[in-house]
Structure formats: structure tokens, C-alpha cells
Amino acid sequence: MKSFWYRSIIVLTAFCSFCTVANSQDYDLADNTTPVFSKQLTEEQAAYLAKTSADAKLAIRTLSLEKQQLVATQELAALRQRSLYNMFVLGSLVSALLLIFLCWGRYEQYRQNRFLAAQIKARTSELELKNTELEAANKALERVSMRDPLTGLNNRNFLNAHLPGEITRVQHYYASAEHLQHATKQDLLCFLVDIDHFKRINDEYGHLAGDQVLVQFTQVLKTLFRSTDLLVRWGGEEFLIICRQADRRELTDLANRLIEAVRQKRFIVANGEVIHLTCSVGFSALPLWPERSAAFSWEQTFSLTDYCLYAAKISQRDCWVGVENATGAFHPTDELTPIAHRFGISGTNVKTSLNNLASIYWPD
């Protein structure tokens, strides 16, 4: 730009010089005083004018070229500007399309996630419902498998599932020193009860009447024993009762109350007829040997209880026979009692509702 103005000044200067010389030539020609000098001056002026004209033309041509270059530069700048603008517009359009694509993708992903979340929630609810139904069905099946359908009492499956834990608890209590410091009720009292002459009821009144008697006998047991005690229909007309967290000194009292409650019960059979029944009871306590709580197993204890029941039945019926505790294993120097002979248990504390121990007829 600076060169352009510089060359413009040169052209203007040359043009002014040309005009001055021309005016001088006219003045001198009009004077006509010095023809030779005028002629010589005219040649110099002509040469100067020619040179000045050439310089002016060159300057004009240069100026024209520079102007053309300037125009070309401006056009190129405008072209570049338009190109940059077009690139900007194109980039903005592409960016907008990418943004729209990303937003659409995010929206689709969000929509899919919501759809999947709804499906998962629905499936989870269905599974939870199915699990709840399955648990309820399993519990119902467990109750059915552990309940006697006639009396509603527990059966042997229930006893097998719950008794081991009770035995472990009692054995742990007696194995520790806690029972020496705090005398609490931690014994398991085992009663095996049999309805006397039950077969006669089935024969005289029918099996339906026998079922009614079993249901009514169950009500006697539920009234007499606690809800925390385990009431089990052992089979037929036999019932097993396990009193939890009790004192073995209560064995005889509970047996007396049970015998008396059955005597006083009015059993209603077919056609509303009322009959009276009795029962026989055998009992024992667990652990049988408190000082060595694990010396005798549950199977041995139950066998002893069953043996006592059998003794009560063949002795008289409507009575009870049981063992409150034992002092240890049988030794050859000990008295050979029926229990010692059969079970190898010595020092048994036998109890009975009969007149005396000699009234007991022990099974062979």
C-alpha cells in the first residue's frame, strides 16, 4: 500500500512538470526573440517530456498492475473468506447433525433402558410373586409333611427335624457349669401315651368313631400341655409328648394330671353316645444321667420310655410307670433289675402310680 502511494506521487509530479514545460514552451514561442535557443530547449523539453511520459506510463502501468494485484488479493481474500464461511457453515451443519445424532442415540438408549428397566421390574415382580408362592407352597408342603392330617399334631418328621437341636441344647447346658450355679428348668420330659382298649372302640363303634376319639384325645393333650411342648402322634393310638425347658421333678405330677384328665373326659362317638376312656403312660427324662449328659442317646431314652409304657399296660393300664433319672452304666456288682438287664443302666429312679414298685410287671 505504501508503494502504491509513492508511485502515485511520482506520476503526479511528472504530470505537473509536463504542464510547466508546456506552458514555458508556449511563452517562449510567442516571444520569438531567441529562435536557436528555443529550438534547442524544445528538443530538451521533448526528450524530457518523452522520458517523463515514459516514466508516467510506466508508473501508470505499474499502478495498474498493483491495482490489479490489489483487486486480485482482495478477491482472493474474499474467496478465502467465503471458503472459510462455507467451511464454517458446513462444519456447523455437520456438528449440528452429529449433535442431533448423539442426542437421538442418547434418547433411544434412554428409551431402551426405561423399557428394559420396566421389563426387569415386571419380571422381578413376577419372580418375587413366584418365589412367594413357592415359599408358601413349600411351607404348606412342609406343614403337611410334618403334620398328622387327622389330629393336626406333629408327626415323626417334625420330631426328627426339631428334636436334635433340643437335645444338643440340654446336653450343652449340663456339660457346662451353668446348671451348678443357676438351677433352671432345662430338662426334656418324654411321655409316651397309649389309649387303653382303643381297638375295642373301632370294633364296637367303627373306625370313624375311633377317629373322633383320637381328635378329642388330642384336645385333652393340648389343654394339659404348653404350646411350646412338642405334641406328636406317634402312630395309631399312641402319642409322644416332649416337654421343653422343664424340671424332671414334674414328671409324676404331669403324668397324674394326664391320667386324671383322660378319666374325666367325656368322649362322644357315633349317634352322640358318650364313653369314658383311660390311658397308660410311660415316661423318662433327658438327659437320663445329668452328670454325663451325653452318656445315653435319644434312641436309648425313647426305648426306655417305651419299655415303661409297656410295663404300665401289662401291669394294670390306667396308670403310669417311668424313670426319673439314672446314676450310670450297669456294673456287675449292681442289682440286676429288668431295666439294667435290658438297657445296661444302673441306679434307675423308677416311679409309678401303682401301689409299689413290686406291682410293676416288666416285659421280658
Structural domains in the chain? Answer: 1-146 (no CATH), 156-359 (3.30.70.270)
Pick left, alpha or beta for residue 200 (phi over 0 → left; psi -120 to 50 → alpha; otherwise beta).
Answer: alpha
Rounded-to-integer distance, Cα 244 and Cα 159, Å: 13
> Which of these ranges, 92-96, 294-298, 326-330, has the smallest mean pLDDT?
326-330
DSSP secondary structure code for residue 359 in this structure: G
> Which of these ranges, 155-164, 240-249, 341-350, has the smallest mean pLDDT?
341-350
DSSP string, 128-157: HHHHHHHHHHHHHHHHHHHB-TTT--B-HH
Averaged pLDDT for residues 152-170 = 92
Encode pLDDT of 74-114 as tens digits.
888 888 888 888 888 988 899 999 999 899 989 999 999 99
Q: Which residues contact 211 (CB under 8 A, 6 or more apart)?
A: 150
Q: Which residues contact 283 (CB under 8 A, 6 or more apart)?
A: 189, 190, 191, 192, 251, 254, 255, 305, 308, 320, 321, 322, 323
Rounded-to-integer distance, Cα 136 and Cα 125, Å: 16
Quote the pLDDT of residue 179.
55
pLDDT of 52 strictly over 90 = no
- For residue 39, the number of C-alpha atoms closer than 13 Å in the C-beta half-sphere is 3
Encode pLDDT of 252-286 as tens digits.
999 999 999 999 999 999 888 999 999 999 999 99
Quote the pLDDT of residue 310.
97
> Which of these ranges, 27-36, 122-131, 175-184, 229-238, has the smallest mean pLDDT?
27-36
Encode pLDDT of 163-202 as tens digits.
999 999 998 888 876 555 555 688 999 999 999 999 999 9
Quote the pLDDT of residue 142.
78
Q: Which residue has the higher pLDDT, 67 or 306?
A: 306
pLDDT of 28 strictly over 60 = no
Averaged pLDDT for residues 127-137 = 91
Tell me the three cell numbers of residue 258.
394326664
Rounded-to-integer distance, Cα 258 and Cα 196, Å: 13
Q: Which residues contact 126 (CB under 8 A, 6 or more apart)?
A: none
Quote the pLDDT of residue 22.
46
Q: Which residue has the higher pLDDT, 60 or 286?
A: 286
pTM above 0.85, yes or no: no
In b/e form, how buried is each residue of 264-290, taking b as 16+ CB within 10 angstroms? ebebebeeeeeeebebbbbbbbbbbbb
Rounded-to-integer distance, Cα 341 and Cα 334, Å: 11
